[in-house]
Amino acid sequence: MRILFLGDVVGRAGRDAVSEELPGLRTALDLDLVVVNGENAAHGFGLTEATCRQLYDAGADVITTGNHVWDKREIIPYIERETRLLRPLNFPPGTPGRGSVVATTKRGGKVLVVNLMARLFMDALDDPFAGVERELASHRLGRTVQAILVDFHGEATSEKMAMGHMLDGRVSLVVGTHSHVPTADAHILTGGTAYQTDAGMCGDYDSVIGMQKEQATQRFIRKMPTDRLTPAEGKATLCGVLVDCDPATGLVRHVAPLRLGGRLAPAWPLADKAPAGGR
């Protein structure tokens, strides 16, 4: 079972990159499921029903989010009824929406997708470690579901690594989001779970984490308020992580980063299926 996770989609540049590249990637990589973090898809802050539809139309099966999920208030009624759109599981009880979903792949397999948010340097939500333990009490990797993917949205690399090790052998992939910078540590943990500290963003890297660099830089130089940050709109790099899971156990046989287009050095996750002429 082959699953692609795409990191935080930032603004129009990120959405357009997903729309342009994901349909071809589903075929080229023979993907069973695609999960996309879309919390910055609507002009860099939050998401709307329209931006979600654009990502679904491109080939996303599930959309995860993070601390910017509520930035566009019109998302609240939509997230209540759209089961493929997640918010972090560890929001307090009674928060609109849901933090997990069991998605069905094109071949009929079942994949549990869990969205969590970290707490170090983030909003003080409920304990994500206890929350995921409760969720996994109802699902067994390789038994009730064929794969389990965890999007852990957070700042601290240590907290993300701790989550990976705690879940090792019990989920297929733990992947971090939020920093918008892809890390170079994609690997399989000792128990068979794939891990990468941050998937990076789908956005313009001639920027400050996806925002226009002049505005963002002045905030650091002057230490004074500026106008609301605006997403950079140059050519985007598509960043993500590919995992190939054993359908019998749900553990991972192969994990590799994907970087496509834009300014970053390209990375194609399958050496035997490199695109003709490169990308």
- The residues annotated with a catalytic role in the active site are 68
CA distance 30 to 211: 33
Burial 155-170, CB ≥16 within 10 A → b, else e: bbeebbbebbeebbeb
Q: Is 163 helix (H, G, I), strand (E, B) or coil?
A: helix
Cα-flanking dihedrals φ and ψ of residue 62, to 5°? Answer: -140, 140
Alpha helix ranges (H) inside the chain: 11-28, 49-58, 75-81, 128-136, 157-167, 213-222
Cβ-based neighbours of 103, under 8 Å, separated by 6 or more: 33, 61, 62, 84, 110, 111, 112, 113
Q: What angle do CA 229, 232, 233 make, to 5 degrees?
A: 140
**How far apart are alpha carbons 68 and 45 in whole angstroms?**
6
